[in-house]
């Protein structure tokens, strides 16, 4: 009976999964498209597959990609975090048929999609990944680029290590003082 | 939330709480509040944004860590350390989540 008060915490345990793990800001991820100008016979369209536009098909308002276009594939909008995925579909302009598609998933990486030519009726492309960094800032008005984000992350970790070392030193000093007084 | 704003806010919360509960220890509670803020919270920012670690677990670990620090560095009173650590870290984590989203 004396442990009955523990049941008071049960309603709070239901918050555990809905609490800290949702709406965590992650590194914004981008997909950059190059080489589109080489494939003049093809059109490239972006479709977002997410909670809002699930199953949305190509319409007249679908976004057409241009050379060096940069798309966000993981980003924040209000208090929602979109992971995509984003689907790129390729249209053969002469036949009017869709010939291929790519699904882009961020997974913490920036993607560079380079279209290098075409093979039979399908465009050839390569996808290279580079790690995306969360824009950690040291002060409010700081301009954050990728190099600054990476540097700031290491500064945060170094500060933590320094703090733990100082605490360790303070504990050591207190124990030494206690031993000296006892002696 | 910028690092300066985070550390300032956590220091104010921790320093004030510790100073109220450990008023006989002089300026030491403020120093301990500042050092524990610098040790724990920058690491928590990185864990929050770069990993998927459960933050309830992180909160419990920070509370336990603070209990040991207050008991060792301020005053040997485990019950007082538990009470202070619990309430102090609840307010601190609310501030942390408010700023980091």
Render A55-107 in DSSP notation, one character per residue. TPPP-TTSEEP-TT-EEEEEEEETTEEE---EEEEEEETTTTEEEEEEEE--T
Cβ neighbours of B48 (radius 10 Å): 22
Give bridge partners of residue A43 from the DSSP assignment. Answer: A91
**What mean pLDDT is predicted for residues B41-64?**
90
Q: Is the pLDDT of residue B27 over 50?
A: yes
Instruction: Provide the ipTM.
Output: 0.90
Q: How far is A113 from chain B (nearest CA, A)?
A: 24
In this prediction, residue A80 carries a pLDDT of: 58
DSSP letters, A105-151, are --TTEEEEEEEEEEETTEEEEEEEEEE------SSTT----HHHHHH
Across the interface, whether the CB atoms of B48 and A24 are under 8 A apart is answered yes
Tokens of B15: 């320093």
Q: How confident is the model at residue A104 (pLDDT cuts 50, 70, 90)?
A: confident
The bridge status of strand A63-64 relative to strand A109-119 is: unpaired
Starting from the edge strand earliest in sequence, which strands make up the sheet with A42-48, in order?
A63-64, A42-48, A86-92, A97-104
CA gyration radius, chain B: 13
Mutate to test the interface with A, among B8, B39, B100 (most CBs of A within 10 A): B39
Residues of B in contact with A139 (CB under 8 A): 2-4
Q: How far is A88 from chain B (nearest CA, A)?
A: 27
Q: Is the pLDDT of residue A5 over 60?
A: no
Q: How far is B32 from chain A (nearest CA, A)?
A: 8
- Of A8-12, A38-42, A127-131, the least confident: A8-12
Which secondary-structure segment (H or E) carries A48?
A: strand A42-48
- Of A78-87, A89-98, A153-162, B1-10, the least confident: A78-87
Nearest by Cα to A69 from A122, A33, A37, A40: A33
In this prediction, residue A41 carries a pLDDT of: 84
Nearest by Cα to A27 from A86, A84, A109: A109
- Of A9-23, B16-30, B45-59, the least confident: A9-23
The per-residue pLDDT of chain B, averaged, comes to 89
- Of A52-61, A89-98, B14-23, the least confident: A52-61
B43, B56, B73 member nearest A174 (Cβ)? B73
Q: Is the pLDDT of residue A50 over 60?
A: no
The DSSP code for B23 is G
Residue A133: is it exposed, middle or buried by C-beta count within 10 angstroms (0-12/13-18/19+)? buried
- Of A55-69, A82-96, B32-46, the least confident: A55-69
Percent of chain A with pLDDT over 70: 70
Q: Is the pLDDT of residue A88 over 50?
A: yes
Percent of chain B with pLDDT over 70: 99
Nearest by Cα to A113 from A69, A72, A145, A49: A69
Q: Is the pLDDT of residue B98 over 90?
A: no
Percent of chain B with pLDDT over 90: 51
Cβ neighbours of A104 (radius 10 Å): 21
């Amino acid at each position: 009976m004396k442990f009955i008060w523990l049941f008071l915490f049960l309603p709070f345990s239901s918050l555990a999964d809905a609490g800290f793990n949702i709406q965590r800001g992650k590194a914004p991820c981008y997909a950059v498209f190059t080489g589109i100008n080489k494939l003049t016979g093809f059109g490239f369209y972006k479709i977002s597959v997410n909670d809002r536009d699930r199953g949305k098909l190509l319409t007249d308002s679908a976004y057409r990609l241009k050379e060096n276009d940069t798309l966000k594939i993981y980003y924040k909008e209000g208090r929602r975090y979109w992971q995509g995925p984003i689907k790129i579909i390729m249209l053969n302009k002469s036949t009017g048929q869709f010939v291929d598609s790519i699904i882009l998933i961020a997974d913490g990486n920036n993607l560079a999609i380079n279209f290098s030519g075409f093979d039979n009726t399908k465009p050839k492309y390569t996808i290279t990944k580079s790690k995306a960094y969360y824009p950690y800032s040291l002060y409010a008005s700081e301009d954050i680029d990728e190099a600054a984000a990476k540097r700031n992350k290491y500064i945060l970790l170094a500060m933590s290590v320094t703090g733990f070392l100082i605490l360790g030193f303070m504990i050591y000093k207190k124990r030494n003082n206690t031993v000296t007084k006892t002696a | 939330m910028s690092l300066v704003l985070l550390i300032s806010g956590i220091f104010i919360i921790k320093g004030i709480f510790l100073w109220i509960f450990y008023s006989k220890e002089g300026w030491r509670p403020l120093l301990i509040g500042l050092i524990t803020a610098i040790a724990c919270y920058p690491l928590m920012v990185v864990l929050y944004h770069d990993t998927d670690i459960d933050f309830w677990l992180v909160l419990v670990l920070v509370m336990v860590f603070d209990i040991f620090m207050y008991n060792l560095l301020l005053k040997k009173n485990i019950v007082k350390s538990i009470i202070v650590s619990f309430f102090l870290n609840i307010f601190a984590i609310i501030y942390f989540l408010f700023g980091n989203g």
